[in-house]
Chains A and B, each alone.
Chain A
Amino acid sequence: MSILSGKKVIIIGDRDGIPGPAIEECAKTAGAEVVFSSTECFV
Chain B
Amino acid sequence: MNSVIKGAGYVLVHAPDMVLHAGTTQTTEKIVNPDSEYLKELPNHIRSYEDVVAYMPNQTYIGNMTPEELAEHEQPWVGKNMENAQRYGKFGEIMPQDEFLVLMQVCDVFELVYLDKEFVSATKDKLAADPVIGEDIMAKVAEGIDGAEIKRLVDEEHAEPLYHMGNLVGCVKRAHDVDVNLSAHVMFENIACKASSVLALLHAVKAAGIDKADVEYVIDCAEEACGDMNQRGGGNFAKAAAEVAGLVNASGSDLRGFCAAPAHAMIEAASLVKAGSYKTVIVTAGGCTAKLGMNGKDHVKKGLPAIEDVLGGFAVVISANDGVNPEINLDMLGRHCVGTGSAPQNVIGSLVAAPLAKGGLKITDVDKYSPEMQNPDITKPAGAGDVPLANYKMIGALAVKNGELDKKELASFPAKHGLVGWAPTQGHIPSGAPYIGFAREDILAGKINRAMIIGKGSLFLGRMTNLFDGVSFTIQPNSGAQAEEGVSEEKVKGLIAKAMKEFAETLMADADAE
Contacts and interface: CB of A to CB of B under 8 A. Distances in A.
Nearest to B456: A15
A41 B223 CA distance: 14
Interface residues of A, number: 16
Interface in A8-43: 14-22, 25, 38-43
Interface stretch (B56-64, B97-105, B382-390, B493-501): B382-390
Nearest to B426: A43
B466 A43 contact: no
B379 A18 contact: no
Contacts, number: 53
A41 B382 contact: no
Nearest to A24: B342
Given A39-B460, A39-B466, A16 B430 contact: no
A11 B461 CA distance: 16
Nearest to B470: A15
Interface residues of B, number: 26
Nearest to B427: A43
A21 B466 contact: yes
A15 to B, nearest CB: 5
A17 B390 contact: yes
Interface in B342-365: 342-344, 347
B387 A22 contact: no
A14 B382 CA distance: 13
Given A39-B468, A41-B458, A21 B342 contact: yes
B196 interface: no
Contact of A19 (B259, B342, B385, B461): B342
Given A21-B342, A42-B384, A43-B425, A15 B458 contact: yes
A43 B468 contact: no
Contacts of A25: 343
Closest 5 CB pairs of A and B: A41-B458, A42-B384, A19-B342, A21-B342, A22-B343
20 contacts: A14-B384, A16-B384, A16-B456, A17-B344, A17-B385, A18-B344, A19-B343, A19-B344, A20-B342, A20-B466, A21-B342, A22-B342, A22-B344, A39-B342, A39-B458, A40-B458, A41-B258, A42-B383, A43-B427, A43-B430
